[in-house]
Amino acid sequence: MRGRQLGEGAPSVPAGLGSLKLEIWFNPFMRQKSELGQSGLKVIRAEVVMHLAVVACGNRLEETLTMVKSALLFSIKKIKFHIFAEEELREQFEKELSHWPQPLSSKLQYTLYPITFSVGNAEEWKKLFKPCAAQRLFLPVILKDVDSLLYVDTDVLFLRPMDDIWKFFKAFNSTQLAAMAPEHEIPKIGWYSRFARHPFYGVTGVNSGVMLMNLTRIRSTLFKNSMIASGLSWEDLLHPLYQKYKNHITWGDQDLLNIIFHYNPECLYTFPCQWNYRPDHCMYGSNCKGAEEEGVSILHGNRGVYHDDKQPAFKVVYDSIRDYPVGENMFQSLFYPLQTKFLDTVNTLCGRVPQVFLKQIEKTMKAVFEQKVVRHARPLHRQHR
Give 277-297 pLDDT, tens digit per residue.
999 999 888 899 999 999 999
Q: Measured at the alpha carbon of residue 75, what is the angle toward residues 318 and 332, in degrees to the nearest 5?
A: 55
Which residues have CB under 8 Å from 165's CB, separation 6+?
150, 210, 212, 271, 275, 297, 298
Judged on CB neighbours under 10 Å (0-12, 13-18, 19+), 334 is buried
Q: What is the pLDDT along the chain (385 residues), one digit of tens a residue?
A: 655 544 333 333 333 344 443 333 333 333 344 444 455 555 556 678 999 999 999 999 999 999 999 999 999 999 999 999 989 999 999 999 999 998 898 889 999 999 888 666 666 666 665 657 789 999 999 999 999 999 999 999 999 999 999 999 999 999 999 999 998 888 777 777 776 777 888 888 999 999 999 999 999 999 999 888 889 999 999 988 888 888 877 767 888 999 999 999 999 999 999 999 999 999 888 899 999 999 999 999 998 999 999 999 999 999 999 999 999 999 999 999 999 999 999 999 999 989 999 999 999 988 877 876 665 555 555 544 4
Q: How far is CA 370 from CA 74, 164, 165, 332, in A?
A: 12, 17, 21, 16
SS3 63: helix
Q: Are 139 and 151 in contact (CB under 8 A)?
A: yes
Is residue 97 a contact partner of residue 4, using CB atoms and an 8 Å limit?
Answer: yes
Break the chain into its structural domains and give their ranges.
Answer: 50-271, 287-377
Closest CA to 155 of 277, 302, 253: 302
Residues 6+ apart with CB under 8 A from 166: 50, 77, 150, 212
Cβ contacts of 124 within 8 Å, gap of 6 or more:
none
Give every CB contact of residue 292 below 8 A, 6+ residues apart in sequence: 286, 353, 356
Euclidean distance between CA atoms 173 and 330, whole angstroms: 38
Nearest by Cα to 321 from 134, 62, 42, 53: 62
Q: Which CATH number does the domain 50-271 belong to among 3.40.50.2000, 2.60.40.10, 3.90.550.10, 1.10.230.10?
A: 3.90.550.10
